[in-house]
């Protein structure tokens, strides 16, 4: 059995939440660079150049990449041989988010009661936390600050099995078309297929953790990702929505088994500010 003090979890979440808000992952920057070569619209290329320059300024000056520093989505994989000592895990994670908010001058973007009292919680907590228990002793954590502009344009549909892949692809393309310029394109797509409604949604978010440019290990699913990417880029929305050939920089699709009568499809749109940071204790 391995013992981990939850104060270490707090520190790690704070560090990752800040790091994610100041520096884009290398794979995302590489995707911008590649797009700069393939984008046909001059105005679209200018948007991509702006985003590269923005990433440079943010990292050098420690200014958040985007003013919407996100709702904290935190993925934890805990080995069942791990014993956590100290605060409850959720509290430790939320302490980390609050610490990042304070130390990194991040925005408080969370309200307590969406139905009645839309009051700001003041420290950007609580986080949305996904926990997975796995064999052995690992403790892995991934932090994904999620902006509302792109989250608000995400959609889920319970398709009929008869709708098949055509129905699935059409739904994704329609979702991106409706989103237009609102989710700050060029976007990334996380797609969750299968499970139940809730499982598909969580899976679509988890898919966004996959580095840009990395295909699904299943070749058939990798082909499906490519087909969706081509269809979405044919929409012409382009960087900033100003028109162009690069609307989407990457599609990550994950599937899990589901009921014989179901075909749940969740499309989580991620903006160009595709922030994430991860590591282990």
Partner 1 sequence: MTVNLNPPLSAGDIADLKAGDEVLITGIIYTARDAAHQKLAELIEQQQDLPLELEGQVIYYVGPTPPSPGRAVGSAGPTTSSRMDSYTPAILSKGVRATIGKGERSEEVIAALRSHSAVYLAAVGGAGALLAEKIVAASPAAYPELGPEAIYRFEVKDFPAVVVIDSHGGNLYNSGRKRYRQQA
Binding footprint of ligand SF4 on the chain (CB under 6 A): 66, 68, 147, 149-150, 183-184, 271-273
What span, in angstroms and rounded, lies between the C-alpha atoms of 233 and 248? 6
The residues in 87-116 that bind partner 1, with binding defined as CB under 8 A, are: 105-108
- Nearer Cβ to partner 1 (225/255): 225
Q: Does 244 bind partner 1 (CB under 8 A)?
A: yes
Instruction: Look at residue 57 and give the partner it binds from ligand SF4, partner 1, none, a contact being a CB closer than 5 to 8 Å depending on partner kind.
Output: partner 1
Encoded tokens for 98? 């609050």
Encoded tokens for 212? 């840009």
Q: Does 165 bind partner 1 (CB under 8 A)?
A: no
* Cβ contacts of 173 within 8 Å, gap of 6 or more: 228, 231, 232, 235
User: How do strand 71-79 and strand 139-146 relate by DSSP bridges?
Assistant: antiparallel
What's the closest the beta carbon of residue 122 comes to ligand SF4, in angstroms? 20
The residues in 184-203 that bind partner 1, with binding defined as CB under 8 A, are: 184
Contact of 187 with 249, CB cutoff 8 Å: yes
What span, in angstroms and rounded, lies between the C-alpha atoms of 78 and 101? 25
What span, in angstroms and rounded, lies between the C-alpha atoms of 19 and 246? 27
The values of phi and psi at residue 111, to 5°, are: -115, 155
- Nearer Cβ to ligand SF4 (201/273): 273
- Nearer Cβ to partner 1 (6/109): 109
User: For partner 1, which residue of 76, 266, 271, 277 counts as binding (CB under 8 A)?
Assistant: 271
Q: Does 86 bind partner 1 (CB under 8 A)?
A: no
- Nearer Cβ to partner 1 (111/131): 111
Measured at CB, which residue is nearest to ligand SF4?
147
User: For partner 1, which residue of 245, 258, 262, 281 counts as binding (CB under 8 A)?
Assistant: 245
Q: Does 57 bind partner 1 (CB under 8 A)?
A: yes
**Stretches 8-16, 88-96, 228-236, 252-260: which one binds partner 1 (CB under 8 A)?**
228-236
Burial 84-106 (b: 16+ CB within 10 A, else e): beebebbebbbbbbbbbbeebeb
Encoded tokens for 253? 């699709």
Helices (H), the chain: 6-22, 26-38, 42-61, 89-103, 148-151, 164-179, 197-207, 219-233
Which residue has tokens 């046909």? 40
User: For partner 1, which residue of 96, 195, 241, 250 counts as binding (CB under 8 A)?
Assistant: 241
Give the distance, in angstroms, between the CA of residue 59 and the centroid of all CA atoms in the same chain.
20
User: For partner 1, which residue of 235, 251, 253, 265 counts as binding (CB under 8 A)?
Assistant: 235
The site for partner 1, by CB under 8 A, has a size of 47
Residues that bind partner 1 (CB under 8 A): 40-41, 43, 47, 50-51, 53-55, 57-58, 61-69, 105-108, 120, 148-149, 152, 180-182, 184, 231, 234-238, 240-245, 271-273
């Amino acid at each position: 059995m391995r013992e981990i003090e939850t104060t270490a979890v707090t520190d790690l979440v704070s560090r990752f939440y800040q790091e994610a808000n100041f520096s884009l992952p290398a794979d995302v920057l590489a995707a911008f660079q590649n797009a700069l070569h393939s984008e046909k619209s001059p105005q679209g290329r200018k948007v991509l150049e702006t985003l590269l320059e923005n990433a440079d300024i943010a990292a050098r000056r420690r200014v958040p990449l985007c003013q919407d520093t996100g709702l904290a989505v935190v993925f934890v994989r805990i080995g069942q041989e791990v014993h956590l000592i100290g605060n409850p895990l959720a509290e430790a994670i939320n302490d980390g988010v609050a610490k990042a908010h304070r130390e990194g001058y991040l925005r408080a973007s969370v309200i307590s009661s969406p139905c009645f009292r839309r009051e700001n919680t003041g420290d950007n907590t609580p986080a949305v936390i996904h926990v997975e228990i796995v064999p052995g002793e690992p403790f892995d954590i991934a932090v994904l600050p999620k902006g509302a502009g792109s989250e608000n344009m995400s959609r889920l549909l319970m398709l009929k099995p008869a709708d098949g892949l055509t129905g699935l692809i059409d739904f994704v393309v329609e979702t991106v078309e409706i989103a237009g310029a609102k989710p700050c394109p060029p976007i990334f797509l996380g797609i969750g297929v299968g499970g139940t409604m809730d499982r598909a949604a969580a899976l679509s978010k988890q898919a966004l953790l996959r580095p840009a440019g990395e295909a699904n290990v299943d070749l058939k699913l990798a082909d499906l990702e490519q087909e969706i990417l081509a269809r979405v880029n044919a929409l012409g929305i382009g960087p900033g929505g100003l028109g162009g050939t690069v609307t989407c920089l990457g599609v990550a699709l994950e599937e899990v088994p589901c009921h014989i009568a179901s075909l749940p499809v969740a499309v989580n749109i991620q903006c160009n500010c595709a922030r994430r940071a991860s590591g282990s204790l």
